[in-house]
Structure 1
Amino acid sequence: MAVSIAIETPLQDEVKTLVTALDAHLAPLAPAEFNFGLDLDEMAAADTTVFVARNGDSKAVGIGALKHIGQYEGQQLGEIKRMYTDPAVRGQRIGSALLEAIQERARSLGIERLVLETGVGEGLAAAVRLYQNHGFTECGAVLDYPASHYSRFFEKKLSA
């Protein structure tokens, strides 16, 4: 499937629908206090870039976001947030395309290290494989996230 990736506002119905689906997917996987997704207003903040994947019919089929944390522990840091692909099109490398666009944007912003928090278990196994296949390695808790058996943390150092 031909897919295009573009930076778009999260404040549109198609993105809201994908975020709602992502939240519904995540809700049964961990208690609410261990779901750390940005809401739509947070996604629309100046420090966050939202990427939307659209199919050949211009339908939104995936999302991902880059939050620019700024200087943190001596380096420019970015966080990957809200990665999601519509289940009807999974397996077509849309997540990879989103992740590549996020990394390209991070490099253009001078971000030296990307981090992310994701959940555990079979419901997120594909996400973990995606990150690992793109060179992310597991690390300890990042930013202000609590270490718990509900979360896994990954990082990747970026080169210019």
Structure 2
Amino acid sequence: MNIKIDDLNGPEIQALIAEHLRGMSESSPPESIHALDLSGLKKPEITFWSAWEDGELLGCGAVKELDAAHGELKSMRTASRHLRKGVARAILEHIIGEASRRGYSRLSLETGSMEAFFPAQKLYASFGFTECGPFGSYAEDPNSMFMTKELR
């Protein structure tokens, strides 16, 4: 698996982001969707990675720099045909490593609190993320779960 920084211009990644946004719309009420569209992901404070194997897109993930010591995990998505193959685990491990190299002391995330998000919650917990309160510009929301991991 090759994980690389992606400029979000390829049709495969654009289709995966569209799938991600559809999935969020199916699982969460509109006011509780915090997933970013393509223009939101192309901001300078966001680094976006895609994972590939034999020319096929496996998944993606991003980190948004909140400040010099705090990053936010964004847009974690595995392509439907590659679920349960370790793609998300590999991408998350890559992003945590990059966050550490950048000197972040904390990496946080927002995910859904509903059953559809239980696999993601379990993955994050397996990497040492624990529940926390809202961070950044987030507010309390019964449809959101906030998690964080200390990196130092």
Q: Which amino acid aligns with 1:68?
A: E
2: CA distance, partners of 1:32 / 1:16: 21
Are 2:93 and 1:100 aligned?
yes
Asked if 1:21 corresponds to 2:14, the answer is no
The answer for unaligned runs of 5 or more in structure 2 is none
From 31, 34, 48, give the equivalent of 2:32.
34
Question: Which residue identity is paired with 1:13?
Answer: P
Residues in 1 aligned to 2:9 and 2:113: alpha-carbon distance in whole angstroms: 29
Q: Which moved more, 1:16-25 or 1:6-15?
A: 6-15
CA positional deviation for 1:9:
1.0
Normalised to the residue count of structure 1, the TM-score between the two structures is 0.90
Query: 2:76 maps to which residue?
Result: 83
Asked if structure 2 preserves the Cα contact closer than 8 Å seen for 1:11 and 1:44, the reply is no
Query: How many Å apart are 1:5 and its aligned residue?
Result: 1.0
Find the partner of 1:154 among 134, 138, 147: 147
Question: 1:13: how far off?
Answer: 1.3
- Give the Å deviation of 1:154: 0.3
In structure 1, what is the equivalent of residue 57 of structure 2?
Answer: 60
Q: Distance in 2 between matches of 1:114 and 1:30?
A: 23
> How many Å separate the matches in 2 of 1:79 and 1:127?
15
Q: Is 1:140 aligned to 2:133, yes or no? A: yes
Per the alignment, residue 51 of structure 1 pairs with: 49
SS in 2 for 1:103: helix
Alpha-carbon contact 1:120-1:151 (below 8 Å) kept: yes
Aligned counterpart, 1:124: 117
Amino acid at match of 2:59: G
Q: Point out the more displaced range, 149-158 or 106-115.
A: 106-115
Task: Give the aligned residue type for 2:9.
Answer: L
For residues 129 and 75 of structure 2, the distance between their equivalents in structure 1, rounded to whole angstroms, comes to 16
Aligned residues: 152
Q: TM-score, normalised by structure 2?
A: 0.95
* Structure 2 residue matching 1:92: 3-state secondary structure: coil
Deviations 1:75-98 (A, max 9, x none): x11000000001211111100100
Amino acid at match of 2:20: L
Cα shift readout 1:43-90 (whole Å, capped 9, x = no counterpart): 1222111110112x211120100111114xxxx110000000012111
Q: Percent identity?
A: 32
